[in-house]
Amino acid sequence: MDVARLGELERAVMDVLWARPEPASVRAVHAALADRGLAYTTVMTVLTRLAAKNVVRRERAGRAWLYAPAATREEYVAELMLEALELTGDRGSALVRFAQSVTSDEADALRQALEREEKT
């Protein structure tokens, strides 16, 4: 997946897709975002752009396209975090600063993940 920072509308569309267990048509995403008053063509354009960025996969279903996330929300966020680490000249310092800013529950989750990784 080509990690791309998402704009506000792109995030809203991705929230719809991440919440669904199956791929969605433009019509279904448009309906889920009805409270925003968006034009159908706006939703179609956003989905097309997300497909071009490889953030969503699309497949033909008759005359319509169905869209699904290319990665889970968690995988996407992890890729963004790794991309951010690439921006620093000192990854270790950035990681330490990040670790100092997390809650104790989050630190426990990180510790457990690292311990599981060491066992494999």
Would you state the pLDDT for residue 3?
60
Would you state the pLDDT for residue 51?
96
Q: Alpha-carbon distance 8 to 109, whole Å?
A: 29
Would you state the pLDDT for residue 5?
80
Residue 1 lies in a domain: no
Mark whether 102 and 55 lie in a shared domain. Answer: no
Mark whether 17 and 63 lie in a shared domain. Answer: yes
Residue 36 lies in a domain: yes
**pLDDT, tens only, 67-85:** 999 999 999 999 988 888 8
Q: What's the full length of the chain, in residues?
A: 120
Residue 3 lies in a domain: no
Mark whether 13 and 65 lie in a shared domain. Answer: yes
Would you state the pLDDT for residue 27?
97
CB 1 within 8 A of CB 55: yes
Mark whether 114 and 79 lie in a shared domain. Answer: yes
Residue type for position 64 = A
Q: Quote the number of domains for the chain.
A: 2
Q: Alpha-carbon distance 40 to 3, whole Å?
A: 26
Would you state the pLDDT for residue 1?
59
Mark whether 77 and 51 lie in a shared domain. Answer: no
Tell me, yes or no, if the pTM score tops 0.85. Answer: no
Residue 114 lies in a domain: yes
Give the tokens for residue 41.
Answer: 């063509």
* Nearest-10 crossing angle of helices 91-101, 73-86: 130
Q: Alpha-carbon distance 97 to 84, whole Å?
A: 13
Q: Which residue has the tokens 């956003």?
A: 46
Would you state the pLDDT for residue 19?
97
Would you state the pLDDT for residue 83?
87
Q: Which residues of the chain have a pLDDT value below 50?
A: none
Backbone angles phi, psi at 81, to 5 degrees: -65, -40
Q: Which CATH number covers residue 30?
A: 1.10.10.10
For 12, the domain range is 8-69
